[in-house]
Amino acid sequence: MSTNRASARFEALRVAGSRTTRVFKKTFSRPIDVNLKASEYFGCNTFSFEMMEKKIPSAEIAILREFATRDTPLSLDLACKVADAVSAWALSRGATHYCHWFQPQTGATAEKHDAFFSFDKKGRALERFTGKELIQSEPDASSFPSGGVRATFEARGYTAWDASSPMFLMESENGLTLCIPSLFISYTGEALDEKTPLLRSLCALNKSATESLRLLGHDVKHVIASAGPEQEYFVCDEALFNLRPDLLLAGRTLIGRPPPRGQQLEDHYFGSIKPRILAFMMEAEHELYKLGVPCKTRHNEVAPSQCEFAPIFENANIAADHNQLVVEVLRTVARRHQLQVLFHEKPYAGINGSGKHVNWSLSDNLGHNMLEPGDSPMDNIRFLWFLAATVKAVNQYATLLRMSIASAGNDFRLGANEAPPAIISCFLGDTLTEVVEKLTTTGGSLTDRAKNINLDLARVPVIARDNTDRNRTSPFAFTGNKFEFRAVGSSASISPSLTYLNSAVSTTLSEMNETLKKSVAQGRSLASQEDILKLIVQTLLENKAVCFEGNGYGEEWHKEAARRGLPNIRTTPDALLAIKDPKNKAMLAAIGVHRGDEVDARYNVKLERYIKVRMIELETLQEMLSNEVFPAAIAHTRILAQSAASIKAAIGNIPVEIEKQLRLTIDLTSALAAAKDKLTVFLEKCSSIHNEPALAATIAAEGMPLMEDVRKVSDQLENLVDDQLWALPKYREILYVM
């Protein structure tokens, strides 16, 4: 009965409230001075290019480094050299196994371990690792989402080494495993993972951006996208977490009355970090430094028990791998502290949810940032060129960017006054807006603010660096020398967002390159500054509609965006359609980011995932109502009814106030029973819909409001029912007891 469950809750509360802070002793898998500075052991568990340099000629290492942006395959000969070097290193460190570490379309990573252990021809035991094993492995691919690209009976897909991302040793209590960052591809060459399209997009971007730079008169070898993802998450005590079926199965609370104290005191953001949480963060950072993840920032976020982690930015491909590692390491290390981390976009109602701010820019092989306003007119032309290409990309491919952030969890955040709206727009800040205005209108004088914008100098503005402007309500904001894609979900892999952003920018750069080439006067090799600036201005003029400096949370913006014709796509099922839009599909095919039926497959995978996530939520909710809420409500009703009967026996009548309470409880309990039935009917309806888009649409249109309604009744009961009967840990406990 619920009394026993409720006592489990009180026991969990006692345990959670009396835990001590775990003291961690810095560990290294071999004896190293524990007082080392982070910089002295950073990357000690990664097989870096510097380490390879002792054994492999640097020309060959350059091939490995540039694997992400080149589309030529690696030679087996080079793989054999690396296999020898890396296995010698890993074995000397005590590793027993290796695995291809890859990113199927589940949002998480996957790994299949194989031992180095083997036999030679004479049957003698030894350790072995070959170039072939490094380059390729064949996990049984049939159980990963493929969206129909690879029929289950054709279960063969393979993983292929991504040479541009360093291999690393994953430590666990009882040993080490060598992880090989890998792509996951079907035998017919289609991408089955998140990494392959990302690398293809980097490849395309490299081509168009280097061409742009050559046309602008810069001699560079290659260009790569950089990314710095800020990761938000929640922390809660494991004992309380384990008592919530919804947190365990759905990653978010499906019911739960928001407590009187939420985030309104504004004391959590940047507040002092609780000792148990800080201890966990420090241990996680220690593990991450060993893995070569450049940890930089940690702080409390807006909501109670919400935190943020941010690294120093890296090449987009490595940043994406590292963000996956951050998520994994935060999870495992939290458990050592009897904590659980929640990466769900909206784990609790009534307080802010979590996102990922993906900071993005482009840099060339000389280390120049393309989005850094420069000191010279030449630099500024480059800056404006890439700015214009990005603004155009966001305008032209807004639906694709919206699609890249669509998920069941993110539907709760986008447009919910805590995260940017579902309308994709671009924020430039006062200074840049003024520059754009000045460039795109004739005449007009500049204000003091932009005084140092010199338009006389061959009509090329000198642009003041301005890092002060912040607009937290914009989904895509310029922040001084990079864009911040602020609408990405906290549980999402950053790869899709980066992939489609890179793809869009690569395309607009190519288009600008073509136009510029046409405008170059005969007999000249370079375009004139006039021509370049004219094209920049024209591009900005044509795409200015996507720029918005105001409050993205306001109702006004919705109206204004509609006037401007900007898409406002509210749900995941609708947002996903964008990938099948002929314009987007053609663009992705043209630059080779998606081949064959990959686009349809991605759509299927994402839609299926949306449906599965929602079905888990609906079924878990129904179970919780049956097993937890209803029994507690009935028990409470019985106690009230029995008490009323006793009172009547004692004084001859039931006081109206008491009767009112009893009536209210009975009414709510009946409403709950009715809600439970409605859920059952809805679930039956769902099982009869066999067309996936129709099912997803039905869930979005009917299932979501239904879950909302049910929740309201349950949360009212939570407020009414005797605390002793309530088995589920309450918001105040999960959020504050740590």
Residues in contact with Mg ion by CB under 5 A are 230, 357
Residue 475, interface with ligand ADP (CB under 6 A)? no
Question: Minimum CB separation from Mg ion for residue 518, in Å?
Answer: 41
Choose between 363 and 503: whose C-beta lies nearer to ligand ADP. Answer: 363
Q: Which of 311, 347, 461, 489 binds ligand ADP (CB under 6 A)?
A: 311
With CB under 6 A as the contact rule, which of the stretches 222-230, 409-417, 541-549, 584-592 interacts with ligand ADP?
Answer: 222-230
Using an 8 Å Cβ cutoff, are 57 and 85 in contact?
Answer: no
- Residue closer to ligand ADP by CB (options 287, 484) is 484
Distance CA 458, CA 634 (A): 80
Which one, 194 or 230, has the nearer CB to Mg ion?
Answer: 230
Q: Which span (309-317, 402-410, 452-460, 532-540) binds ligand ADP, by CB under 6 A?
A: 309-317
Question: Contact region for ligand ADP (CB under 6 A) — 233-241, 307-315, 382-390, 644-652?
Answer: 307-315
User: Least distance from C-beta 42 to Mg ion, angstroms?
Assistant: 24
Q: Is 339 strand, coil or helix?
A: strand
Q: Would you say 398 and 566 are in contact if contact means Cβ atoms under 8 Å apart?
A: yes
CA–CA separation, 702 and 526 (whole Å): 59
Q: Given the structure tokens 């004084």, which residue do they identify?
A: 651
Cβ closest to Mg ion, residue 357 vs residue 392:
357
369 binds ligand ADP (CB under 6 A): yes
- Bridge-based pairing of strands 167-172 and 157-161 is unpaired
Q: Is 545 helix (H, G, I), strand (E, B) or coil?
A: helix
Q: Residue 313 binds what, of ligand ADP, Mg ion, none (CB under 5 to 8 Å, by partner type)?
A: ligand ADP
Q: How near is the Cβ of 372 to ligand ADP at its closest, in Å?
A: 8
Partner from Mg ion, ligand ADP, none binding residue 312, C-beta < 5-8 Å depending on class: ligand ADP
SS3 state at 225: strand
Query: Please, how many CA atoms are within 13 Å of residue 560, restricted to the half-sphere of its CB?
Result: 16
Q: Least separation, in Å, of the C-beta of 38 and ligand ADP? A: 16
CA 291 to chain centre: 20
Query: According to CB under 6 A, which residues from 225 to 244 bind ligand ADP?
Result: 226-228, 230
- Which of Mg ion, ligand ADP, none sits in contact with 482, Cβ below 5 to 8 A by type? ligand ADP
CB of 607 to ligand ADP, least distance (A): 31
Question: Can residue 383 be called a binding residue for ligand ADP (CB under 6 A)?
Answer: no
Of 482, 609, 614, 730, the residue at the interface with ligand ADP (CB under 6 A) is: 482
Residue number, 313 or 412, with CB nearest to ligand ADP? 313
Q: Which is nearer to ligand ADP, 286 or 482 (CB)?
A: 482
Instruction: Indicate the pairing of strand 167-172 with strand 46-47.
Output: antiparallel
92 burial (CB, 10 Å; 0-12 / 13-18 / 19+) is exposed
- Output helix, strand, coil percentages for the chain, rounded to the nearest 5: 50, 15, 35
Least distance between ligand ADP and beta carbon 376 (Å): 19
Q: Binding string, 313-342, against ligand ADP, x = CB under 6 A?
A: x-----------------------------
Q: Cβ distance 304 to 342 under 8 Å? A: no
Q: What torsion, rounded to 10 degrees, do the Cα atoms 17, 23, 28, 33 define?
A: 160
Cα–Cα distance measured from residue 352 to residue 413, given in angstroms and rounded to the nearest whole number: 8
Q: Which residues between 79 and 138 bind ligand ADP (CB under 6 A)?
A: none
Q: Which residue has the tokens 């937290």?
A: 472
* Residue 600 · residue 606 · CB < 8 Å: no
Q: How far is the CB of 316 from ligand ADP (least distance, A)?
A: 8
Tokens of 69: 């942006």
Closer residue to ligand ADP (CB): 246 or 484: 484
Indicate the residue among 197 and 228 with the shorter CB distance to Mg ion. Answer: 228
Q: How many residues bind ligand ADP (CB under 6 A)?
A: 17
Whether 256 and 348 have beta carbons less than 8 Å apart is answered as: yes
CA 317 to chain centre: 14
CB of 346 to ligand ADP, least distance (A): 20
Region binding ligand ADP by CB under 6 A among candidate stretches 1-9, 304-312, 500-508, 516-524: 304-312
Q: Which residues, 6 or more positions from 456, have their beta carbon under 8 angstroms from its beta carbon?
A: none
Query: Minimum CB separation from ligand ADP for residue 295, in Å?
Result: 10
What distance, in Å, lies between the first and last C-alpha atoms of the chain? 28
Among 169, 139, 202, 433, smallest CA distance to 290 is for 169
Specify the residue, 346 or 357, whose C-beta has the smaller distance to ligand ADP.
357
CB-wise, 230 or 531, nearer to ligand ADP? 230
Q: Residue 291 or residue 310: which is nearer to ligand ADP going by CB?
A: 310
Distance, in Å, from the CA atom of 111 to the CA atom of 173, rounded to the nearest integer, reads: 18
Looking up tokens 């008592």, which residue turns up?
A: 243
CB of 310 to Mg ion, least distance (A): 7
- The item of Mg ion, ligand ADP, none sharing an interface with residue 452, based on CB under 5 to 8 Å by kind, is none
Interatomic CA distance for residues 727 and 622, integer angstroms: 16
State the DSSP code for 357: E
Q: How far is the CB of 104 from ligand ADP (least distance, A)?
A: 26
551 binds, among ligand ADP, Mg ion, none (CB under 5 to 8 A by kind): none
CA–CA distance, 642 with 439 (Å, rounded to integer)? 79
State whether residue 294 is helix, strand or coil: coil
Closest CA to 539 of 429, 442, 440, 397: 440
Nearer to Mg ion, 257 or 486 (CB): 486
Cα–chain center distance at 241? 22
Site membership for ligand ADP, residue 505 (CB under 6 A): no
Query: How many C-beta atoms lie closer than 10 Å to residue 248's C-beta?
Result: 12
Among 493, 607, 550, residue whose Cα is nearest residue 184: 493
Distance between CA atoms of 189 and 180, rounded to whole angstroms? Answer: 20
Nearer to ligand ADP, 160 or 330 (CB): 330
Range 279-298, binding ligand ADP (CB under 6 A): 297
In three-state secondary structure terms, 306 is: strand
Nearest distance in Å: CB 738, ligand ADP: 23
Select from ligand ADP, Mg ion, none the partner in contact with residue 228, using the beta carbon and a kind-dependent cut-off of 5 to 8 Å. ligand ADP
Beta strand pairing status for 426-427 and 476-478? Answer: parallel
Q: According to CB under 6 A, which residues from 344 to 363 bind ligand ADP?
A: 357, 359-361
Is the CB of 225 or the CB of 435 nearer to ligand ADP?
A: 225
Report, in Å, the least distance between residue 419 CB and ligand ADP. 14
Residues near ligand ADP (CB under 6 A):
226-228, 230, 297, 310-313, 357, 359-361, 369, 481-482, 484
